[in-house]
Amino acid sequence: MSAENTTETTEIIHENTLYAEPVFHVGEFPITNSMLSAWLVVILVVVLALSLRKKIKLIPTGLQNILEVVFEAGFGIFDSVTGSRKKSMQFAPFVLAFFFFVLLNNWLGLLPGVGSIGQIVQSGHEKFFVPYLRGGTADLNTTLALATIAVVTSHVVGVVFVGWWKYLNKFINFKILLEIPKKIIKDPTILLVNPIKFFVGLIEIIGELAKIASLSFRLFGNIFAGEVLLASMSAILAFGLPVPFMFLEIIVGLIQALIFSILVLIYMSISTTAEEH
């Protein structure tokens, strides 16, 4: 953080804020710099996909070759999570879309010019520097949206695969409450055990909210912390010192994208397997 002296009015304040700053407004709706770079990534992915779609060949060359290596490795990991190639084929488009979006967003934030080219905004007595672009995943709104989409989709997929009655009983366990009168004569302890099981099901609902929180905060925290780290390293010595940290951030961006997509896959494969205790 390179927080300048705030008392001086002529100084331009340039600090890494926790939130993305609005660059311009469309009507009342603020367009933030993170949103702009997220759209840039979307355009990039769409253009890449459309241009590659025409050129897919049996014997791959160039970019197709690289992507096939990525897909091979990805499917290897997916199979070890889902347990079957059929299931990973079904989930792969969704999960790989997350992977590429998050990966490109993480890496876009590291490009030179992102976060350093911008405009100066006057608010009150102070002048603020607002960059035009900021890594899309360095904004909590983006990661929260991604995590929400992922968790909601995992539930939808669960309902489709398992059936809504069975799926509902994972969380609000009516089945176990209805079991009590049937089995109470044979096994009186069920009066104690089954209500506990019912409450365990209710706790799972909180677990679902925790999933969203942990997914979004993990990604946001890692990428934002990386930006702050790079900024503070360049503030210490701008020549050469940030280079090893740049490498670190490239690896962190890759690992975080991998973890995000694998966790999405894990949530999906957990919700599609019927609970058998």
Kindly list the residues in this chain that would bind other proteins in the complex (CB under 8 A): 18, 77, 214, 217-218, 220-222, 224-225, 228, 255-256, 258-259, 262
User: To the nearest whole angstrom, how small is the minimum distance from the Cβ of residue 100 to other proteins?
Assistant: 19
Closest CB to other proteins among residues 31, 77 = 77
| Pick 97 or 259: Cβ nearer other proteins | 259
**11 vs 15 by CB, closer to other proteins:** 15
CB of 5 to other proteins, least distance (A): 16
* Residue showing tokens 């490498």: 247
Q: Which is nearer to other proteins, 101 or 220 (CB)?
A: 220
Measure the CA–CA gap between 164 and 92, rounded to whole angstroms. 23
What amino acid occupies position 143?
A: T
The minimum distance between CB 255 and other proteins, in angstroms, equals 6
- CB nearer to other proteins: give 147 or 190: 147
Q: How many CA atoms lie within 13 A of 106 on its CB side?
A: 30
Residue closer to other proteins (CB basis): 190 or 219: 219
Angle at 261 between CA 91 and CA 35, to 5 degrees: 110
93-117 as b/e, with b when 16 or more CB fall inside 10 Å?
ebbbebbbbbbbbbbbbbeeebbee
Burial classification of residue 268, based on how many CB atoms lie within 10 Å of its CB (0-12 exposed, 13-18 middle, 19 or more buried): buried
Closest approach, Cβ 225 to other proteins, in A, equals 5
Backbone φ and ψ for 57, nearest 5 degrees, come out as -125, 165
Pairing of strands 126-131, 12-13: parallel
Q: Give the bridge partners for 128, in sequence order.
A: 13, 121
**Considering the complex, what minimum distance in angstroms separates the CB of residue 141 from other proteins?**
14
Query: What six digits make up the tokens of 113?
Result: 């010019």
Decide whether 77 or 159 has the Cβ nearer to other proteins.
Answer: 77
The C-alpha angle 244, 245, 250, rounded to 5 degrees, equals 100
Nearer to other proteins, 97 or 228 (CB): 228
Nearest approach in angstroms of CB 170 to other proteins is 23
Helix crossing, 62-82 with 33-54: angle to 10°?
Answer: 110
DSSP state of 125: T
CA distances from 35 to 6, 31, 105, 191 (A): 28, 7, 11, 53
How near is the Cβ of 142 to other proteins at its closest, in Å? 15
Report the nearest approach of other proteins to the CB of residue 169 (Å).
29
